[in-house]
Structure 1
């Protein structure tokens, strides 16, 4: 039994020793200021449930479960899992400089490190993007951990990484001196970058205030969005703007990316006059803007975790790039050449950034891969400024050409004015001579007229006397005309009531619609007006002549309402005449005869005659003994 246990112990010791030998140590001496762990120098273990403790991970049972890293830098491929990483370091001598381990990716949510101290016990430290900024060891945008033991020997360092975003686990050893130098240089570079953004923004703000062109305003909003995105992903915004609120880190870069895409496309439309030069691309840009807004709202309201799908920004970037190429190639618009060059740099930076994220960083220098998008934005801003300046130069040149044309036209106008003035002066001189001659002739005529006026004065006295006599005669004639007109009306009324008149004679009494409406009004309201709605007796004129509107409830009653002519479709004076003929003939006149007299279709005459005949039958008793005037009794509705 003892032999079996001994063999098992030896076998387990062999496995542990083999695992330890399998991971080659990184050698560090006093000349090492900085070292980046990469490739197989880092071994890792995935913990799908996140339940493993450090004691379990560091135990002999898990030593051989760590697997060598296959990528240039490790990644958390399964974002729901916790990952443990281990590096082996050998100090060939007592290290005299204070040093740190630094992690670069600022979106890493939680980082737990376990370093051996001078007594061989492991010390735990913690950092990450989900902790407030003041909990970090140093007030720096990256994550730093102070190494407790720098004595000669070999040591294992353990790192526990947990993040809901895909991160590159870049582990760097640095001395404090190197860290300070690197940090100062980096922040100085950031200061220059953001200073350029501020300068570009301020310059274009002044240009906007000077010329009031909206493209400057959109460009300002675009580069400010670029600045917001850069400070968000660099961790500087977390450091200076919201250090106590890590939750903002999940929203800031997503909001900034939405603003970048939106203002970039709007600026493209404004700068390149896409709506006029390429209407199809203008509609395409509008559709992309709408879809991008919908995706932003879904991420903001429903699931902020979707902000991490940054690859969708390739779509608006490509649309803007292709639009610039099309307008440059097809429309020969000069400012588009700088626009295309600027977008080419941004497109190249985007591609390099994607390559770096996908793990091909070994083929790209570190600074270029990490800051490629920032360089792309920087070059794009410079060339977009050139594009705006080129457009201003073109507009200035057009303005100068227009001014030259205006000056040339003003000179032509001045020459034409001088020519016209000379012609007018010649004409005026000629006309003046003619006027003088005419004045002499008129003077002679005035003398003649004065003589004739003397004769006319004498004749006017005679005419005045004759005018007085004529006035007296006119007064007498006017009285006679009044009497004659009254007699004619009486005779016409008598003829209307006594004999059957033709339409021309009948029209003397009822010549037009107004006369007919007046007759109906007097007939309908002979006993006074009463509102049909509220029984009010006061009224005013309605919208249609001879209608009456109640002054209390504003109900307007038509003069045709409750008459036989309601809903009438033929001229009212012809309808009057038709009723007159039907009554005069006692309903015996044919529709054919009515059509011939009225000039209306026979079917219409038949329908209207049937209506009148029906009323005559209903009021047969009422019409007895009323004479020829009875046709007017048919007009009003009996019930009314």
Structure 2
């Protein structure tokens, strides 16, 4: 009973598997079939979240019923962390008699494994994808191709394993080799035409830039070169010709080229349409968008390059350029903007058609070919009309220059007429002036004769004056000598009076009238035997901040002229302090503080304090002062 039940279960599983196998739509091909796109139920798929399933497991009966029918027109890898297995079923009604291939279109697919049956029924593995070096491909073509090993009559299952970091359209196409060669040649001819146009436009605008030195040509060159790089990156041509052995650059190429495309597009818009002058608010918006675009680009480049896939964000700068052109054309009536708007209209249309194509709707309206190449057509038409815009701007500038040249010629004619009239007036005035000059010349000649006679008289008088000046000079020399002697005698007399008799303050002030005179006296008295720094004993010095202070040139210590004198910490005028010492010495300390206050005009208490200090010093130096006469007061000045 149990064995019968097990047989029934196995029979049911086989029956279900068979039903599942026959649920897939079979594609019938014959010798007349040149090309076929696998779509809808012609493809079944299986998601492999573990990324570990092998071909032997996939083709076994355990997984045959796990494939599900494709729900889209073209399958997609919705979960990019998983591997996806795709199966197509083909029936050759007759032997083809020629080679054929299976082709995958989406150039950003990272890894494709194709398992195609050979004549022995075994599956042969082939590899392709954007992660492999270009030289490792079976066919050196921008798409991914696999050679069908068996084109004999019969029914075959083809398995494909697809793994990609980006979301891709799994477009599987059957083509004969003959059809592939014709299609590839036509496509590459179209690429040559497109990229040739970019080179021609770039070279033409480079010559214009070198000729007229207008920055808009340079930005236009950078813009169309960015367009070319983006198209090459998305078509796979750049990988084929520019970096075939560095597939890692495929992850950055279209993101970098899109950044330059949008940035130079915005800058070119500003330059061509004079946005800064005609629309200052829009100019600020463009500058802000440029900064935001740069920050987003740097974030994608250095933080997460997976964000490069948000290509739809380029709709924002594209729309801003389109709106700017419409505004300046419609509101500011700027002629070249009409070609700019027309060019961006075609690019805008191509961009929308490209989105429709990516969403898989283009086949319903315009066909896959137009949808696939719509953005390229849009860029091409945009370049043409932008060139018209630049040409129209040059025409306007040329017309303005021509008008300016005509105005200059007209003004030159007016200037010439004015010049002729002025010259005629000047000739008449010159004749009149010449007559006046001749008349005045005669008068001057007569005056010159008179002046010559007067000069002769002056010369004789100057001779006498020179003789008198020499006599006066000799007398001045003699007077100067007498003055010097007189001054010397006065100083001697003053010193003698100071030392011989008691002087009042006014007479004393003639010798020591102010602070500088007193400081000079103290400086000569203090350092009469030479200067030596009290800190380091250095003998070299320079002037200090206060007059007559001395600063050491070695340790920079500045010694005050009052330091180590009786006047240190003095709070009364220095000349009065000198006079107080002088009085105390002459009276041998017997003069009262009241008398000192009367003579000096200083408070009695202050005079008493200073008198006490001086009297103490006189007592200490009594022996030194003995027999020195009236000049002994000077010896009280320095501290021992």
TM over 0.5: yes
CA distance in 2, matches of 1:369, 1:297: 31
Q: Which residue of 1 aligns with 2:272?
A: 271
Q: Does 1:146 align with 2:162?
A: no
- Pick from 417, 421, 424: which aligns with 2:423? 421
CA distance in 2, matches of 1:273, 1:521: 79
Structure 2: where are the runs of 5+ without partners?
A: 563-570, 582-592, 595-605, 620-624
Q: Which residue of 1 aligns with 2:361?
A: 360
**TM-score computed with the length of structure 2 as normaliser:** 0.77
Moved more, 472-481 or 313-322: 472-481
CA distance in 1, matches of 2:186, 2:608: 111
Matched residue SS, 1:27 = strand
CA offsets per residue over residues 494-548 of structure 1, 9 Å max, x none?
A: 99x97778xxx99x9779x9x9999999899877677899876557799999999
Q: Which residue of 2 aligns with 1:80?
A: 81
Moved more, 230-239 or 254-263: 254-263
What is the 5 A alignment of 1:5-84? Answer: 5-84=6-85
Q: CA deviation at 1:104?
A: 0.3
CA distance in 1, matches of 2:133, 2:43: 28
Matched residue SS, 2:152 = coil
Task: Give the 3 Å change call, closer, same or farther, for CA 556–339 of structure 1 in structure 2.
Answer: farther
Task: Give the 3 Å change call, closer, same or farther, for CA 291–537 of structure 1 in structure 2.
Answer: farther
Task: Give the 3 Å change call, closer, same or farther, for CA 454–155 of structure 1 in structure 2.
Answer: closer
Task: Give the 3 Å change call, closer, same or farther, for CA 296–489 of structure 1 in structure 2.
Answer: farther
CA distance in 1, matches of 2:31, 2:369: 25
CA distance in 2, matches of 1:627, 1:393: 109
Contact 2:300 2:306 in 1 (8 A): yes
Q: CA deviation at 1:167?
A: 0.5
- Aligned alpha-carbon RMSD (Å): 4.9
- Pick from 395, 398, 411: which aligns with 2:397? 395
CA distance in 1, matches of 2:358, 2:177: 28
CA distance in 2, matches of 1:375, 1:85: 33
Matched residue SS, 2:245 = coil
CA distance in 1, matches of 2:612, 2:199: 98
User: Which is greater in Rg?
Assistant: 2
Q: Which residue of 2 aligns with 1:338?
A: 339
Q: Which residue of 1 aligns with 2:244?
A: 243
Contact 1:582 1:613 in 2 (8 A): no
Q: CA deviation at 1:106?
A: 0.9
CA distance in 2, matches of 1:612, 1:308: 99
Q: Which residue of 2 aligns with 1:446?
A: 448
Q: Which residue of 1 aligns with 2:438?
A: 436
CA offsets per residue over residues 149-187 of structure 1, 9 Å max, x none?
A: 333343322222111111101111112221111000000
CA distance in 2, matches of 1:516, 1:337: 94
**TM-score computed with the length of structure 1 as normaliser:** 0.77
CA offsets per residue over residues 592-620 of structure 1, 9 Å max, x none?
A: xxxxxxxxxxxxxxxxxxx9999999999
Q: Which residue of 2 aligns with 1:593?
A: none
Contact 2:233 2:239 in 1 (8 A): yes
CA distance in 1, matches of 2:27, 2:87: 12
Task: Give the 3 Å change call, closer, same or farther, for CA 209–461 of structure 1 in structure 2.
Answer: closer
Q: CA deviation at 1:206?
A: 1.8
Task: Give the 3 Å change call, closer, same or farther, for CA 252–455 of structure 1 in structure 2.
Answer: closer
Q: Which residue of 1 aligns with 2:188?
A: 187
Q: CA deviation at 1:55?
A: 2.4
Q: Which residue of 1 aligns with 2:587?
A: none
What is the 5 A alignment of 1:483-502? Answer: none
Q: Which residue of 1 aligns with 2:383?
A: 381
Moved more, 319-328 or 63-72: 319-328
Task: Give the 3 Å change call, closer, same or farther, for CA 532–88 of structure 1 in structure 2.
Answer: farther
Matched residue SS, 2:47 = strand
CA distance in 1, matches of 2:144, 2:187: 15
Contact 2:353 2:362 in 1 (8 A): no
Matched residue SS, 1:444 = helix
Contact 1:75 1:166 in 2 (8 A): yes
CA offsets per residue over residues 91-119 of structure 1, 9 Å max, x none?
A: 33333332211110111122222333344
CA distance in 1, matches of 2:395, 2:519: 75
CA distance in 1, matches of 2:381, 2:203: 18
CA distance in 2, matches of 1:219, 1:614: 96
Q: CA deviation at 1:627?
A: 12
What is the 5 A alignment of 1:451-490? Answer: 451-452=453-454, 463=465, 466-476=468-478, 478-479=480-481
Contact 1:92 1:153 in 2 (8 A): yes
Contact 1:547 1:557 in 2 (8 A): no
CA offsets per residue over residues 361-417 of structure 1, 9 Å max, x none?
A: 433421222122222222222233233333333333344344444444444444444
Contact 1:582 1:612 in 2 (8 A): no
Q: CA deviation at 1:260?
A: 2.1
Matched residue SS, 2:130 = coil
Q: Which residue of 1 aligns with 2:116?
A: 115
CA distance in 2, matches of 1:278, 1:42: 54
CA distance in 2, matches of 1:279, 1:261: 20
Q: Which residue of 2 aligns with 1:261?
A: 262
Q: CA deviation at 1:145?
A: 1.7
Q: CA deviation at 1:556?
A: 8.1
Q: CA deviation at 1:193?
A: 0.9
Length, aligned pairs only: 599
Q: CA deviation at 1:199?
A: 1.1
Matched residue SS, 1:65 = coil
Contact 1:548 1:556 in 2 (8 A): no
Task: Give the 3 Å change call, closer, same or farther, for CA 277–623 of structure 1 in structure 2.
Answer: farther
Q: Which residue of 2 aligns with 1:293?
A: 294
CA distance in 1, matches of 2:255, 2:355: 17
Matched residue SS, 1:46 = strand
Contact 1:72 1:361 in 2 (8 A): no
CA distance in 1, matches of 2:617, 2:477: 47
What is the 5 A alignment of 1:535-546? Answer: none
